Amino acid sequence: MRNSAALVAAALCLLAGLAPAALAEEQHPGHAMVTPDQIQWQVIGSLPPGAKVAVLEGDPAKAGDFTFRVELPANYVVPRHTHPTVERVTVLQGTFYLGIGEVFERDKAQALPAGSLAIMDTGVPMFAYTGEEPVVFQVNGTGPWGIDYLDPADDPRKKPSE
């Protein structure tokens, strides 16, 4: 069970639009096992409403290794964006559509069914969406991770809360 300091840290991260404290940090350093029933999904402020995140290892906002999962509902769009680090995406459930480029062109995105891997280099403009089913994918990398929208109007962190 998480202690109160970890819960406070998680709450502060969520307010800042970052991911909550990682599950794997609660275990023996260098050794972690996380079962599905331990995963705690949270709303993430850096993606449009409807997305959820669960940090499994590390702190994506800081230097070092991290692992987190993202859950997107059906018919969801991630606007054009870049990342400041290499991003490794493994699709765990559903079909995730990922496109490269500064223009959102749905027909040019590649369908990535469960089991697929995409490795995106630093600063590569991309966009993504889901189809008729929800999608869960895992991101592994070395932080600090972030997301920068090509159009600032797409950034949910800059929009007033509803």
Per residue in 54-68, pLDDT tens? 999 999 999 999 999
Q: CB-hemisphere CA count at 13 Å for 113?
A: 0
> In the structure encoding, which two tokens stand for residue 114, read together?
């469960």
Per residue in 119-139, pLDDT tens? 999 999 999 999 999 999 999
Per-residue confidence (pLDDT) for residue 23, from 0 to 100? 54
Phi first, then psi, for residue 70 (nearest 5°) are -125, 135
- In whole angstroms, what is the distance from residue 82 CA to residue 159 CA? 19
Per-residue confidence (pLDDT) for residue 18, from 0 to 100? 45
Residues in the chain predicted with pLDDT less than 50, given as ranges, are 1-21
- In whole angstroms, what is the distance from residue 40 CA to residue 52 CA? 10
Per-residue confidence (pLDDT) for residue 16, from 0 to 100? 37
Per-residue confidence (pLDDT) for residue 114, from 0 to 100? 98
Q: For residue 63, what is the domain's CATH number?
A: 2.60.120.10
- Taking phi over 0 as left and psi of -120 to 50 as alpha, with beta for the rest, 119 belongs to beta
- In whole angstroms, what is the distance from residue 150 CA to residue 161 CA? 21
Per-residue confidence (pLDDT) for residue 26, from 0 to 100? 54
Range of the domain at 58: 4-30+38-158
- In whole angstroms, what is the distance from residue 64 CA to residue 68 CA? 13
Which three-class secondary structure string do you get for the chain?
A: CCCHHHHHHHHHHHHCCCCCCCCHHHCCCCCCCCCHHHCCCEECCCCCCCCEEEEEECCCCCCEEEEEEEEECCCCEEEEEECCCCEEEEEEECEEEEEECCCCCHHHCEEEECCCEEEECCCCCEEEEECCCCEEEEEEEEECCCCEECCHHHCHHHCCCC
Count up the domains in the chain and report the number: 1
Per-residue confidence (pLDDT) for residue 12, from 0 to 100? 32
- In whole angstroms, what is the distance from residue 144 CA to residue 74 CA? 29
- In whole angstroms, what is the distance from residue 144 CA to residue 142 CA? 6
